[in-house]
Chains A and B, each alone.
Chain A
């Protein structure tokens, strides 16, 4: 990809790298292809967690492609990639810390006194 961009549009004196038409079209076709794959994969039963893992893996690949090529991160200043990585890290920390004690939550919120809340997840007390 690097060689192809060298011989194409970017001669080093634009304001920014110009994405080659080959890169844009290639990214687009890959994204469309992965969309078909992810929809098709839902019909195959791998067990709920593996189906979820596969769908998320495909989504991560798609997101990476968008970031690298459509959003130019591959050719852009490293600092912008650092920003994105930092943002994702911060989001992961936020999600992780927010969910850390979630096994202690009540399964349901009381909104009908005749339906008492269920106990939290965790080891089931033996009577």
Chain B
């Protein structure tokens, strides 16, 4: 391949390039051989990625609700920009082949550099996306511990929640997160367990709230409870589940900590008032985990009853489609196993990103060779093969983008 080698065996006549190796008949033979090789490689790449598409199709078929919910975590804007960046880089890559074929050396160098710049741009945007997900705990497997729901509402997670008996929770409306403290119970990834957190004795409630006109600030002990059941989506709330007894106020934290509605950040019922405010501190003590629901339900609220050995029977409450239910929950807690979406997401985009990274190395190598003027009409195989590889990377992304970002 080296110049010296070629000089030593200069028996091939006027092929015009020192890079024609002597075991090929001529430049055309070498080019066609290389091209066949790269096509075989690309075909096995298709098969390589198709294994990940199997995982995708299987999981999406079985758990459409997860995909309908989880794609809201992804920003279509970044995905669309990255698609455009890759298509631009595909153009520069395709054009670089043309430039080499027409011996436009300066244009070739410029286009190869532009392709590298686009590849870095793509990875830069992926970096922004990945960093955000790492920061928010939107990760794969048991690392999935999001700070917010896909609709952007705050969720308790391991960063703002600690195990064991807690003393107080401060809910901050501005940051939409538990500012300090923790609640009893392991919410982990299962919203079904979060419906009823724990029964606790509430020692004291402090709240700062905004009334219609004045800012109210008070601190008082709870002596009585409102027994009115709260509606499901009132943010942090506490109510007394049993008959009021001022002697020993035992409250049950109910609310769905997974859903913090817009408006009041928190609501606490005490006495015959409902306190709502931007910061409410609930001090609780002697918490016990609430009993689990007796009837196991699935994520759609359907009751699952054992139907015999190894079988179960569904009791459908409402004739609603999974899609409707998925939409319904998109602002609520993640459905169980939402982490699977991100396992698939990171596997697919990660493998694709790795290909982009490899492409950068290849293109840097091409750029160095191009600045030495090594490519021309008689020898441009590497430029062509790299461009083919690069187009395949683009092609994979053409499918990944709608499948991951554009779920309706």
Contacts and interface: CB of A to CB of B under 8 A. Distances in A.
Contacts of A38: 401-402, 406
Nearest to B381: A15
Interface in B362-408: 377-378, 380-381, 384, 387-388, 391-392, 394-395, 398-399, 401-403, 406-408
Contacts of A48: 64, 68, 323, 408
B296 A116 contact: yes
Contacts of A67: 391, 395
Given A24-B94, A86-B43, A15 B84 contact: no
B84 to A, nearest CB: 6
A55 B405 CA distance: 11
B102 interface: yes
Given A87-B46, A124-B314, A71 B391 contact: yes
A17 to B, nearest CB: 9
B380 A66 contact: no
B54 A94 contact: yes
Nearest to B400: A59
Contacts of A24: 91, 94-95, 98
Contacts of B58: 98-99, 102, 105
Of B39, B296, B378, most buried by chain A (CB within 10 Å of CB) is: B39
User: Is chain A's interface secondary structure helix, strand, loop, or mixed overall?
Assistant: helix
Interface in B14-50: 27-28, 31-32, 35-36, 39-40, 42-44, 46-47, 50
B255 interface: no
Contacts of A119: 304, 311-312, 314
A7 interface: no
B337 A35 contact: no
A74 to B, nearest CB: 13
B274 interface: no
B36 to A, nearest CB: 8
A114 interface: yes
Nearest to B49: A91
Contacts of A121: 62
Contacts of B90: 28, 31, 66, 70
A125 B313 contact: yes
Interface string A82-115: 0110111011001100110010010110001011
Contacts of A115: 190, 192, 296, 336
A18 B43 contact: no
Interface string B83-100: 110011011011101100
A127 B313 contact: yes
A125 to B, nearest CB: 6
A14 B408 contact: no
Of B44, B101, B403, B406, most buried by chain A (CB within 10 Å of CB) is: B406
Of A15, A18, A56, A94, most buried by chain B (CB within 10 Å of CB) is: A15
Interface string A5-38: 0000100001110110100110110011001001
A21 B402 contact: no
A42 B76 contact: yes
A39 interface: yes
Interface in A30-73: 31-32, 35, 38-39, 42, 45-46, 48, 51-52, 55-56, 58-59, 62-63, 66-67, 69-71
A58 B401 CA distance: 12
B102 A9 contact: yes
A105 B57 CA distance: 13
Contact of A91 (B31, B36, B47): B47
B63 interface: yes
15 contacts: A15-B381, A16-B384, A18-B101, A24-B98, A31-B87, A32-B84, A38-B401, A51-B408, A70-B387, A71-B387, A71-B388, A80-B39, A105-B62, A107-B63, A108-B337
Q: Which 4 A-B pairs have the closest CB atoms?
A: A87-B43, A51-B408, A55-B402, A91-B50
